Structure 1
Amino acid sequence: MSGMESERPVLDLIIPALTDAGYEVYTHPSRQLLPSFMGDYVPDAIALGKPKNLAIEIVRDGTRSGSRERVADRFLGVTDWELRIYYARSGGGVPAIDGVTPDIIDRTITKVEALIAAGQMEAALLLGWSTFEAIGRALIPNRLSHSQSPARLIEQLAGEGIVTPDEADRLRPIANLRNAVAHGALQRDLDRTALEDFVATLKLVLHENQPVGAGA
Protein backbone atom coordinates (compact mmCIF):
# COMPACT_ATOMS: atom_id res chain seq x y z
CA MET A 1 0.00 0.00 0.00
CA SER A 2 2.92 2.36 0.53
CA GLY A 3 5.62 3.28 -1.95
CA MET A 4 8.75 1.16 -1.84
CA GLU A 5 10.96 4.22 -1.51
CA SER A 6 9.19 5.14 1.73
CA GLU A 7 8.81 1.70 3.24
CA ARG A 8 12.29 0.26 2.66
CA PRO A 9 14.10 2.31 5.35
CA VAL A 10 11.40 1.46 7.89
CA LEU A 11 11.56 -2.24 7.05
CA ASP A 12 15.35 -2.16 7.29
CA LEU A 13 14.96 -0.80 10.81
CA ILE A 14 12.34 -3.22 12.13
CA ILE A 15 13.32 -6.47 10.39
CA PRO A 16 16.52 -7.02 12.44
CA ALA A 17 14.56 -6.76 15.69
CA LEU A 18 11.93 -9.21 14.43
CA THR A 19 14.46 -11.78 13.24
CA ASP A 20 16.35 -11.47 16.53
CA ALA A 21 13.04 -12.29 18.25
CA GLY A 22 12.73 -15.49 16.22
CA TYR A 23 10.34 -14.34 13.49
CA GLU A 24 10.67 -15.36 9.85
CA VAL A 25 10.08 -12.20 7.84
CA TYR A 26 8.81 -11.95 4.25
CA THR A 27 8.62 -8.58 2.51
CA HIS A 28 5.95 -8.10 -0.17
CA PRO A 29 4.62 -11.62 0.49
CA SER A 30 2.87 -13.64 -2.18
CA ARG A 31 -0.83 -14.37 -1.67
CA GLN A 32 0.03 -18.03 -1.10
CA LEU A 33 1.63 -17.02 2.21
CA LEU A 34 -1.41 -15.06 3.39
CA PRO A 35 -4.42 -16.42 5.29
CA SER A 36 -7.82 -16.27 3.63
CA PHE A 37 -9.26 -13.69 6.05
CA MET A 38 -6.99 -11.02 4.54
CA GLY A 39 -8.90 -11.22 1.26
CA ASP A 40 -7.37 -8.89 -1.32
CA TYR A 41 -5.23 -7.10 1.27
CA VAL A 42 -1.47 -7.66 0.93
CA PRO A 43 0.66 -6.20 3.75
CA ASP A 44 4.08 -4.69 3.13
CA ALA A 45 5.61 -7.57 5.10
CA ILE A 46 4.65 -10.47 7.30
CA ALA A 47 6.52 -11.95 10.26
CA LEU A 48 5.74 -15.58 11.08
CA GLY A 49 6.37 -16.66 14.65
CA LYS A 50 5.12 -16.61 18.22
CA PRO A 51 3.12 -15.52 20.10
CA LYS A 52 1.31 -14.23 16.98
CA ASN A 53 2.03 -13.86 13.29
CA LEU A 54 2.38 -10.23 12.31
CA ALA A 55 1.08 -8.31 9.30
CA ILE A 56 3.20 -5.19 8.85
CA GLU A 57 1.83 -2.10 7.17
CA ILE A 58 3.98 0.97 6.45
CA VAL A 59 1.87 4.12 6.34
CA ARG A 60 3.04 7.37 4.79
CA ASP A 61 1.98 10.83 5.87
CA GLY A 62 -1.32 11.70 4.26
CA THR A 63 -2.65 8.16 3.93
CA ARG A 64 -6.39 8.20 4.52
CA SER A 65 -7.36 6.88 7.93
CA GLY A 66 -10.45 5.19 6.49
CA SER A 67 -8.38 2.74 4.48
CA ARG A 68 -6.38 1.83 7.59
CA GLU A 69 -9.59 1.22 9.51
CA ARG A 70 -10.89 -1.11 6.81
CA VAL A 71 -7.67 -3.10 6.95
CA ALA A 72 -7.82 -3.25 10.76
CA ASP A 73 -11.40 -4.56 10.58
CA ARG A 74 -10.15 -7.70 8.83
CA PHE A 75 -8.18 -8.66 11.95
CA LEU A 76 -11.10 -8.42 14.36
CA GLY A 77 -11.61 -11.74 16.11
CA VAL A 78 -8.46 -13.27 14.60
CA THR A 79 -6.43 -14.77 17.43
CA ASP A 80 -3.25 -15.86 15.67
CA TRP A 81 -2.52 -12.71 13.64
CA GLU A 82 -1.84 -9.12 14.65
CA LEU A 83 -1.74 -6.01 12.47
CA ARG A 84 1.17 -3.68 13.20
CA ILE A 85 1.23 -0.25 11.60
CA TYR A 86 4.42 1.79 11.29
CA TYR A 87 4.58 5.37 10.06
CA ALA A 88 7.07 6.69 7.50
CA ARG A 89 7.52 10.41 7.13
CA SER A 90 7.24 11.70 3.60
CA GLY A 91 10.60 12.73 2.23
CA GLY A 92 12.39 11.20 5.18
CA GLY A 93 13.47 7.85 6.44
CA VAL A 94 16.04 6.04 8.45
CA PRO A 95 19.50 7.34 7.50
CA ALA A 96 21.97 4.88 6.07
CA ILE A 97 24.99 3.91 8.16
CA ASP A 98 28.21 5.29 6.72
CA GLY A 99 30.75 2.76 5.57
CA VAL A 100 34.32 2.78 6.87
CA THR A 101 37.65 2.11 5.19
CA PRO A 102 39.59 -1.15 5.41
CA ASP A 103 42.26 0.65 7.45
CA ILE A 104 39.71 1.59 10.11
CA ILE A 105 38.39 -1.97 10.12
CA ASP A 106 41.92 -3.34 10.53
CA ARG A 107 42.57 -1.04 13.48
CA THR A 108 39.30 -2.10 15.07
CA ILE A 109 40.20 -5.78 14.68
CA THR A 110 43.42 -4.99 16.55
CA LYS A 111 41.29 -3.52 19.36
CA VAL A 112 39.23 -6.71 19.45
CA GLU A 113 42.41 -8.76 19.78
CA ALA A 114 43.56 -6.54 22.65
CA LEU A 115 40.23 -7.02 24.44
CA ILE A 116 40.54 -10.80 24.12
CA ALA A 117 44.10 -10.69 25.45
CA ALA A 118 42.86 -8.65 28.43
CA GLY A 119 40.09 -11.15 29.15
CA GLN A 120 37.32 -8.69 28.20
CA MET A 121 35.39 -11.31 26.27
CA GLU A 122 31.95 -9.63 26.23
CA ALA A 123 33.40 -6.36 24.93
CA ALA A 124 35.47 -8.26 22.37
CA LEU A 125 32.39 -10.12 21.15
CA LEU A 126 30.26 -7.00 20.73
CA LEU A 127 33.00 -4.95 19.06
CA GLY A 128 33.93 -7.93 16.91
CA TRP A 129 30.39 -8.33 15.64
CA SER A 130 30.15 -4.60 14.94
CA THR A 131 33.35 -4.98 12.93
CA PHE A 132 31.89 -7.92 11.03
CA GLU A 133 28.87 -5.82 10.05
CA ALA A 134 31.20 -3.00 8.95
CA ILE A 135 33.09 -5.49 6.77
CA GLY A 136 29.83 -6.63 5.20
CA ARG A 137 28.79 -3.03 4.56
CA ALA A 138 32.14 -2.32 2.90
CA LEU A 139 31.75 -5.34 0.61
CA ILE A 140 28.05 -5.06 -0.36
CA PRO A 141 26.95 -1.54 0.64
CA ASN A 142 23.86 -1.61 -1.58
CA ARG A 143 22.37 -4.42 0.55
CA LEU A 144 23.75 -3.60 3.98
CA SER A 145 23.42 0.17 4.18
CA HIS A 146 21.17 -0.07 7.26
CA SER A 147 21.45 -2.00 10.51
CA GLN A 148 21.34 -5.77 10.10
CA SER A 149 20.32 -8.62 12.35
CA PRO A 150 23.17 -11.11 12.84
CA ALA A 151 21.19 -13.82 11.03
CA ARG A 152 20.52 -11.63 8.00
CA LEU A 153 24.13 -10.44 7.89
CA ILE A 154 25.38 -14.03 7.69
CA GLU A 155 22.69 -14.88 5.12
CA GLN A 156 23.62 -11.96 2.86
CA LEU A 157 27.36 -12.64 2.99
CA ALA A 158 26.88 -16.37 2.45
CA GLY A 159 24.53 -15.68 -0.46
CA GLU A 160 27.23 -13.60 -2.14
CA GLY A 161 29.87 -16.27 -1.55
CA ILE A 162 31.81 -13.91 0.72
CA VAL A 163 31.69 -16.42 3.56
CA THR A 164 31.80 -20.15 2.90
CA PRO A 165 29.15 -22.57 4.19
CA ASP A 166 31.62 -23.80 6.84
CA GLU A 167 32.36 -20.23 7.94
CA ALA A 168 28.64 -19.47 8.10
CA ASP A 169 28.11 -22.53 10.31
CA ARG A 170 30.85 -21.33 12.68
CA LEU A 171 29.49 -17.79 12.71
CA ARG A 172 25.95 -18.72 13.74
CA PRO A 173 26.85 -19.76 17.32
CA ILE A 174 28.86 -16.54 17.64
CA ALA A 175 25.80 -14.63 16.43
CA ASN A 176 23.65 -16.32 19.06
CA LEU A 177 26.14 -15.37 21.77
CA ARG A 178 26.24 -11.80 20.48
CA ASN A 179 22.44 -11.58 20.69
CA ALA A 180 22.42 -12.97 24.22
CA VAL A 181 25.12 -10.63 25.52
CA ALA A 182 23.67 -7.60 23.71
CA HIS A 183 20.31 -8.21 25.42
CA GLY A 184 21.63 -8.63 28.94
CA ALA A 185 22.85 -12.22 29.31
CA LEU A 186 26.04 -11.14 31.04
CA GLN A 187 26.96 -14.48 32.58
CA ARG A 188 27.49 -16.44 29.37
CA ASP A 189 30.67 -18.51 29.20
CA LEU A 190 32.55 -17.03 26.25
CA ASP A 191 35.24 -19.33 24.88
CA ARG A 192 38.49 -17.55 24.10
CA THR A 193 39.39 -19.98 21.32
CA ALA A 194 36.03 -19.40 19.61
CA LEU A 195 36.53 -15.63 19.74
CA GLU A 196 40.06 -15.96 18.35
CA ASP A 197 38.66 -18.08 15.50
CA PHE A 198 36.04 -15.36 14.93
CA VAL A 199 38.79 -12.73 14.66
CA ALA A 200 40.64 -14.93 12.16
CA THR A 201 37.46 -15.12 10.09
CA LEU A 202 37.11 -11.32 10.18
CA LYS A 203 40.62 -10.92 8.80
CA LEU A 204 40.07 -13.57 6.14
CA VAL A 205 36.78 -12.10 4.93
CA LEU A 206 38.20 -8.58 4.82
CA HIS A 207 41.46 -9.35 3.05
CA GLU A 208 40.22 -11.96 0.57
CA ASN A 209 37.55 -9.63 -0.81
CA GLN A 210 37.64 -6.20 -2.42
CA PRO A 211 35.64 -3.52 -0.56
CA VAL A 212 33.56 -1.30 -2.85
CA GLY A 213 35.46 1.91 -3.59
CA ALA A 214 38.78 0.58 -2.29
CA GLY A 215 40.39 0.66 -5.69
CA ALA A 216 42.05 -2.02 -7.78
Structure 2
Amino acid sequence: MSLKYAVLGALLEGEASGYDLAKIFDVSVSNFWAATPQQLYRELERLAADGLIEARVVPQERRPNKRMFTLSATGRADLAAFTAKEPRPTAARDELMVKVQALDVGDVDAVRGHIEERIGWAQGKLARYERVRQHLLGELSEEEFLRDSDRIGPYLTLMRGMFFEEENLRWGRRALEILDRRTAARRGQLP
Protein backbone atom coordinates (compact mmCIF):
# COMPACT_ATOMS: atom_id res chain seq x y z
CA MET A 1 0.00 0.00 0.00
CA SER A 2 1.15 3.50 -0.60
CA LEU A 3 0.70 6.64 1.39
CA LYS A 4 -1.75 7.67 -1.32
CA TYR A 5 -4.60 5.56 0.03
CA ALA A 6 -3.91 6.40 3.65
CA VAL A 7 -4.26 10.11 2.74
CA LEU A 8 -7.39 9.54 0.64
CA GLY A 9 -8.90 7.55 3.50
CA ALA A 10 -8.06 10.28 6.00
CA LEU A 11 -9.84 12.82 3.79
CA LEU A 12 -13.07 10.85 4.22
CA GLU A 13 -13.30 12.78 7.50
CA GLY A 14 -13.79 15.97 5.45
CA GLU A 15 -11.83 18.97 4.26
CA ALA A 16 -8.41 19.32 5.86
CA SER A 17 -5.23 21.32 5.52
CA GLY A 18 -1.84 19.62 5.39
CA TYR A 19 -1.41 20.54 9.05
CA ASP A 20 -4.82 19.03 9.89
CA LEU A 21 -3.88 15.83 8.06
CA ALA A 22 -0.61 15.58 9.98
CA LYS A 23 -2.65 15.76 13.20
CA ILE A 24 -5.13 13.17 11.89
CA PHE A 25 -2.23 10.87 11.02
CA ASP A 26 -0.67 11.37 14.43
CA VAL A 27 -3.89 10.57 16.26
CA SER A 28 -5.81 8.02 14.23
CA VAL A 29 -3.80 6.76 11.26
CA SER A 30 -0.45 6.23 12.97
CA ASN A 31 -1.62 2.96 14.48
CA PHE A 32 -1.45 1.41 11.01
CA TRP A 33 0.46 3.80 8.72
CA ALA A 34 3.31 6.15 9.59
CA ALA A 35 4.20 9.27 7.64
CA THR A 36 6.13 12.45 8.32
CA PRO A 37 4.52 15.84 7.67
CA GLN A 38 6.95 16.33 4.76
CA GLN A 39 5.79 13.05 3.19
CA LEU A 40 2.16 14.12 3.63
CA TYR A 41 2.72 17.48 1.94
CA ARG A 42 4.50 15.84 -1.03
CA GLU A 43 1.70 13.29 -1.34
CA LEU A 44 -0.96 16.00 -1.22
CA GLU A 45 0.74 17.73 -4.16
CA ARG A 46 0.81 14.46 -6.15
CA LEU A 47 -2.81 13.67 -5.36
CA ALA A 48 -3.92 17.17 -6.40
CA ALA A 49 -1.91 16.92 -9.63
CA ASP A 50 -3.56 13.54 -10.34
CA GLY A 51 -7.05 14.98 -9.73
CA LEU A 52 -7.72 12.67 -6.77
CA ILE A 53 -8.14 15.57 -4.38
CA GLU A 54 -9.15 19.18 -4.83
CA ALA A 55 -7.38 22.10 -3.20
CA ARG A 56 -8.61 25.56 -2.38
CA VAL A 57 -6.71 28.48 -0.91
CA VAL A 58 -7.97 30.13 2.26
CA PRO A 59 -6.52 33.63 2.74
CA GLN A 60 -5.28 34.35 6.25
CA GLU A 61 -4.22 37.60 7.87
CA ARG A 62 -0.72 37.75 9.36
CA ARG A 63 -0.01 34.18 8.26
CA PRO A 64 0.59 32.51 4.91
CA ASN A 65 -2.50 31.44 3.01
CA LYS A 66 -3.71 27.97 3.86
CA ARG A 67 -4.55 25.23 1.35
CA MET A 68 -7.52 23.05 2.18
CA PHE A 69 -7.94 19.65 0.55
CA THR A 70 -11.01 17.54 -0.13
CA LEU A 71 -11.49 14.18 -1.74
CA SER A 72 -12.63 14.50 -5.36
CA ALA A 73 -15.16 12.17 -6.99
CA THR A 74 -12.23 10.55 -8.85
CA GLY A 75 -10.35 10.12 -5.57
CA ARG A 76 -13.39 8.60 -3.88
CA ALA A 77 -13.81 6.15 -6.78
CA ASP A 78 -10.10 5.25 -6.68
CA LEU A 79 -10.30 4.68 -2.94
CA ALA A 80 -13.42 2.53 -3.36
CA ALA A 81 -11.66 0.43 -6.01
CA PHE A 82 -8.66 0.06 -3.70
CA THR A 83 -10.86 -1.44 -0.96
CA ALA A 84 -11.81 -4.30 -3.30
CA LYS A 85 -8.22 -5.27 -4.11
CA GLU A 86 -6.61 -8.20 -2.33
CA PRO A 87 -4.32 -6.82 0.40
CA ARG A 88 -0.69 -7.89 0.54
CA PRO A 89 0.28 -9.74 3.69
CA THR A 90 2.09 -7.55 6.16
CA ALA A 91 5.69 -8.17 7.02
CA ALA A 92 7.01 -7.10 10.38
CA ARG A 93 10.25 -5.14 10.35
CA ASP A 94 11.13 -4.48 13.94
CA GLU A 95 14.67 -3.57 14.97
CA LEU A 96 13.96 -4.58 18.55
CA MET A 97 13.22 -8.13 17.40
CA VAL A 98 16.62 -8.28 15.67
CA LYS A 99 18.25 -7.23 18.95
CA VAL A 100 16.23 -9.79 20.91
CA GLN A 101 17.20 -12.47 18.38
CA ALA A 102 20.87 -11.66 19.01
CA LEU A 103 20.72 -11.05 22.76
CA ASP A 104 22.53 -14.32 23.54
CA VAL A 105 25.74 -12.81 22.16
CA GLY A 106 24.97 -9.21 23.06
CA ASP A 107 24.28 -6.94 25.98
CA VAL A 108 21.32 -8.56 27.77
CA ASP A 109 20.86 -5.57 30.08
CA ALA A 110 20.67 -3.19 27.11
CA VAL A 111 18.12 -5.41 25.36
CA ARG A 112 16.15 -5.65 28.60
CA GLY A 113 16.13 -1.86 28.72
CA HIS A 114 14.88 -1.70 25.13
CA ILE A 115 12.04 -4.08 26.01
CA GLU A 116 11.13 -1.92 29.01
CA GLU A 117 11.13 1.10 26.73
CA ARG A 118 8.80 -0.70 24.27
CA ILE A 119 6.46 -1.48 27.16
CA GLY A 120 6.43 2.22 28.06
CA TRP A 121 5.67 3.22 24.49
CA ALA A 122 2.85 0.67 24.31
CA GLN A 123 1.35 1.98 27.56
CA GLY A 124 1.54 5.55 26.26
CA LYS A 125 -0.05 4.64 22.94
CA LEU A 126 -2.81 2.69 24.67
CA ALA A 127 -3.62 5.69 26.85
CA ARG A 128 -3.73 7.94 23.78
CA TYR A 129 -5.84 5.43 21.83
CA GLU A 130 -8.28 5.19 24.73
CA ARG A 131 -8.72 8.98 24.68
CA VAL A 132 -9.42 8.80 20.92
CA ARG A 133 -11.85 5.93 21.54
CA GLN A 134 -13.74 7.95 24.15
CA HIS A 135 -13.84 10.93 21.77
CA LEU A 136 -15.23 8.77 18.95
CA LEU A 137 -17.87 7.16 21.18
CA GLY A 138 -18.97 10.42 22.79
CA GLU A 139 -22.04 9.60 24.86
CA LEU A 140 -22.75 6.35 23.01
CA SER A 141 -21.95 2.84 24.11
CA GLU A 142 -19.67 0.91 21.79
CA GLU A 143 -22.64 -1.16 20.61
CA GLU A 144 -24.68 1.98 19.85
CA PHE A 145 -21.77 3.61 18.04
CA LEU A 146 -21.06 0.56 15.88
CA ARG A 147 -24.75 0.18 15.03
CA ASP A 148 -25.61 3.85 14.37
CA SER A 149 -22.44 5.69 13.31
CA ASP A 150 -22.08 6.84 9.70
CA ARG A 151 -18.45 5.65 9.63
CA ILE A 152 -16.97 2.77 11.62
CA GLY A 153 -13.68 2.39 9.72
CA PRO A 154 -11.75 4.73 12.04
CA TYR A 155 -13.06 2.83 15.07
CA LEU A 156 -12.09 -0.55 13.62
CA THR A 157 -8.56 0.62 12.82
CA LEU A 158 -8.31 2.10 16.30
CA MET A 159 -9.31 -1.28 17.75
CA ARG A 160 -6.55 -2.92 15.71
CA GLY A 161 -4.01 -0.44 17.03
CA MET A 162 -5.17 -1.07 20.59
CA PHE A 163 -4.94 -4.85 20.16
CA PHE A 164 -1.45 -4.48 18.69
CA GLU A 165 -0.23 -2.41 21.63
CA GLU A 166 -1.90 -4.75 24.13
CA GLU A 167 0.03 -7.60 22.52
CA ASN A 168 3.25 -5.56 22.71
CA LEU A 169 2.60 -5.19 26.44
CA ARG A 170 1.84 -8.88 26.90
CA TRP A 171 4.94 -9.94 24.96
CA GLY A 172 7.19 -7.39 26.69
CA ARG A 173 6.11 -8.42 30.17
CA ARG A 174 6.56 -12.11 29.35
CA ALA A 175 9.98 -11.48 27.76
CA LEU A 176 11.14 -9.60 30.87
CA GLU A 177 9.86 -12.42 33.08
CA ILE A 178 11.81 -14.96 31.03
CA LEU A 179 14.98 -12.85 31.12
CA ASP A 180 14.66 -12.36 34.87
CA ARG A 181 14.18 -16.09 35.49
CA ARG A 182 17.07 -16.96 33.22
CA THR A 183 19.38 -14.44 34.88
CA ALA A 184 18.40 -15.67 38.35
CA ALA A 185 18.91 -19.31 37.34
CA ARG A 186 22.35 -18.55 35.95
CA ARG A 187 23.28 -16.85 39.20
CA GLY A 188 22.15 -19.95 41.10
CA GLN A 189 19.16 -18.22 42.67
CA LEU A 190 16.61 -20.63 41.19
CA PRO A 191 16.73 -24.40 40.80
Class of the TM-score when normalised by the shorter of the 2 chains: under 0.3
Q: TM-score, normalised by structure 1?
A: 0.25
Structure with greater helix share of residues: 2
Q: TM-score, normalised by structure 2?
A: 0.27
